[in-house]
Amino acid sequence: MKTKAVLFLLAVLAVLLCSCGRAGAIPGAEAADYGANITREQAIDQIKAISGGSGNADVRSIPDLDKVIDSVRYYFIRASFPSRMTAEYYVDSMEGKIFVAISGEFDINNPLPAVSISSGDEEPETVTEITAARSEAVNAIIETLGMTAQQVEEKFGDGYSRVFVNYDSYMEAFLYREQGFTVAFGKDGKVACVYCSEKIDIGGARSGMDFSQVQEKLGKTVYRQKWTDTPVNAAYQIEYGFDGRTVVFFSRQSGGSDSIMCIK
């Protein structure tokens, strides 16, 4: 009888200890986001947006990997891409700031210059349309889109260097150094995009500017993050519409320093 009583007491004690352990812990999966201005779902939506849309990556939050710093919860979110590459982020639940996580850590003083997270009642962000007039140089560049290599040579001559560029993918390209642009060919052998040097501008915006300088010239627009080879090799971009074409300024730096202008 005494043995049964002792076993019963030990069992009760074990249950109490487990309950106390759960109450004292702060697992992200069980803790409420008290005082959060940004919900976990909104944070996930924002990561989907900078990852190129929900169809481009499988984006999931892992609450158990959340961090709490100075009473602020940072949601841990992982984006998995079809290429088997993954990118990891932390999102500030109070201000919506986004941080890139490297090996599970992030620099709290270096957030991405991300757009604010929508409350769900706002209209989704749209790409800003450039209203500036097209210069002769820009007109000539736009005309090359869709051309073959032979057609490009006929238009601009053979004074180019053969190079390879790597943004969305590796592409063979013709570098016309004097003219200030690089014509890149897609898999179909036709011009997919044209990279412009600082010699070419649209509405005063040109390569070499950071994103804030570009937006002063052309207006606020969508900010996105793209990945190339690994999460460390991130490419950040802002995007505009331009007479049915797309103008992108991209950079390896989150703030857009030394950006490169691309027309496609």
Q: What's the pLDDT score for residue 30?
A: 35
Residue 52: what residue type?
G
DSSP string, 18-54: HHHHHHH---TTTS--TT-SS-HHHHHHHHHHHTT-T
Q: Where are the alpha helices (DSSP H) in 27-161?
A: 40-50, 136-144, 149-156
Cβ of 235: how many Cβ atoms within 10 Å?
A: 18
More confident position, 31 or 149:
149
More confident position, 11 or 71:
71
Least confident of 88-102, 128-142, 216-230: 216-230
Most confident of 48-57, 108-117, 128-137, 230-239: 128-137
Rounded to whole angstroms, what are the CA distances from 25 to 11, 14, 19, 35?
Answer: 22, 17, 10, 19
Q: 112-149: per-residue pLDDT in tens? A: 764 444 434 444 468 899 998 889 999 999 999 999 99
For the cut 80, the answer to whether the pLDDT of residue 19 exceeds it is no
User: Where are the chain's structural domains?
Assistant: 27-124, 128-263
> What is the model's pTM?
0.56
Q: What's the pLDDT score for residue 113?
A: 60
34 falls in which pLDDT band (50, 70, 90)?
A: low
Q: What's the pLDDT score for residue 44?
A: 92
Question: Do the beta carbons of residue 182 and residue 175 sit within 8 Å?
Answer: yes
Radius of gyration, alpha carbons of the chain: 25
Q: What's the pLDDT score for residue 222?
A: 86
For the cut 80, the answer to whether the pLDDT of residue 85 exceeds it is no
